[in-house]
Amino acid sequence: MRPDTETVSSRGETVGPSNGFDAWKALQKATDKKRADIIADIVGHPKGAPSVEELTYMNPRLSDDAIRRHLKTLADVGVVQLLEFEPGERTGGFPYQFFELSAEARALFDQNGLFPEEAWTRQWQSVEKTPRIRDIEAMPRPSPGDE
């Protein structure tokens, strides 16, 4: 199946040109090695929505700024979406922004056999984490509708 054709996600949502998601552009941006590593870490995260700090820990060769640039690129093509706590709900010293795959990206990746959740979950779990990263990993995440 061509990546620019319309399909339906596992949630019953239309995925394709009719809703503004360009599968071809998403695949182009997602297949960059560094961005693919970031996507794999998002998929493997126990809550499916890591913070920049967690992603930097998992990708030590990339700076926070580099991670943010890659996340912006992925968000611009609809692969990831930001989950953010409101100012009154933020916990001092801890992240308040997290990133998850969009439903369209998950459906596209599933359709093309990319970023299987089980494999990347095992990878995430195999990495030894600092106490700070374990604390962040255990934090609740805002719901998509909370922004």
Tens-digit pLDDT profile for residues 12-43? 444 444 468 999 999 999 999 999 999 999 99
Please report whether residue 121 resides in a domain.
yes
Beta bridge partners of 15: 7
Please report whether residue 12 resides in a domain.
no
Please report whether residue 122 resides in a domain.
yes
Total domains, the chain: 1
Which pLDDT value is given to residue 54? 98
Whether the per-residue pLDDT at 11 is higher than 90: the answer is no
Alpha carbon distances (Å) from 78 to 1, 23, 93, 137, 140 = 20, 9, 29, 24, 23
Tens-digit pLDDT profile for residues 71-108? 999 999 999 999 999 988 888 888 999 999 999 999 99
> For strand 7-8 and strand 80-84, is the pairing parallel, antiparallel, or unpaired?
unpaired
CATH of the domain at 85: 1.10.10.10
Please report whether residue 106 resides in a domain.
yes
Please report whether residue 3 resides in a domain.
no
Please report whether residue 11 resides in a domain.
no
How many other C-beta atoms lie within 10 A of the C-beta of residue 68?
A: 16
Please report whether residue 89 resides in a domain.
yes
Which pLDDT value is given to residue 62? 96
3-state secondary structure the chain: CCCCCCEECCCCCEECHHHCCCHHHHHHHHCCHHHHHHHHHHHHCCCCCCCHHHHHHHCCCCCHHHHHHHHHHHHHCCCEEEEECCHHHCCCCCCCEEEEECHHHHHHHHHCCCCCHHHHHHHHHHCCCCHHHHHHHHCCCCCHHHC
Domain that residue 100 falls in: 20-142
Please report whether residue 7 resides in a domain.
no
Tens-digit pLDDT profile for residues 116-143? 999 999 999 999 999 999 999 999 999 8
